Chain A
Amino acid sequence: DQQVKQNSPSLSVQEGRISILNCDYTNSMFDYFLWYKKYPAEGPTFLISISSIKDKNEDGRFTVFLNKSAKHLSLHIVPSQPGDSAVYFCAVGGGLTGGGNKLTFGTGTQLKVEL
């Protein structure tokens, strides 16, 4: 049973435009939400996070939005740059994930930023 879903396996955006990546989760007990970026042949790199007490967190070009009632998380990248081309994973933690800081990951969205 997939607890974290990224329904778009791929997304293509023009340079300078906004990229919006989406993520849905099933359990309202999750209380910590993160986005990771992964380039080929590298491990996932932490990008930005948000706790359940907030609905928005911003860091430079990256903003994460949390809609708890809809159990939906999104990542906005503005403006998109070619170097942003990577696979983006959303991850959730806390609640029923089993203790510790264990994270449950979505299947990823491949973002391609075109010139």
Chain B
Amino acid sequence: DSGVTQTPKHLITATGQRVTLRCSPRSGDLSVYWYQQSLDQGLQFLIQYYNGEERAKGNILERFSAQQFPDLHSELNLSSLELGDSALYFCASSGTGANSPLHFGNGTRLTVT
């Protein structure tokens, strides 16, 4: 158990809809990262937050947004969903050291129909 909790585990929704994925980091970790894994793809970095502030941004679509709250949990909002957004979405957290490894949750599987 990595200590990172993601909810829900599965999500099925229709095109055009909006969903929110939730992540609780490991106790004490200030950094939260969101990654997307599409079929046969590696993990694509979306965005990182550190102690409530956006720290780094990857190829995140404008339809997607995220935030980190004062209690350090994070939410990833996906709107105007398209079929191609179907993927596994992973959250990870890390400590404050420069090379602290990322610890991943078990992911949310999003299916857009």
A residues apposed to B, CB below 8 Å: 4, 32, 34, 36, 41-46, 49, 51, 89, 93-94, 97-108
* Smallest CB gap from A6: residue in B: B42
Q: How far is A42 from B31 in the complex, measured between Cα atoms in Å? A: 20
A101-B94 contact given A89-B43, A106-B42, A107-B41, CB 8 Å threshold = yes
Contacts A36-B104, A100-B56 supplied; 10 other A-B pairs, CB < 8 Å? A34-B101, A41-B106, A43-B90, A43-B92, A43-B106, A46-B101, A46-B103, A99-B56, A101-B31, A105-B43
> Contact residue range for chain B?
20 to 34
Min CB distance, B92 to chain A, in Å? 8
Any A CB within 8 A of the CB of B18: no
| Interface residues in B59-113 (C-beta closer than 8 Å to A) | 90, 92, 94, 98-107
**A100 B90 Cβ-Cβ under 8 A:** no
* CA–CA, A101 and B4, complex, Å: 17
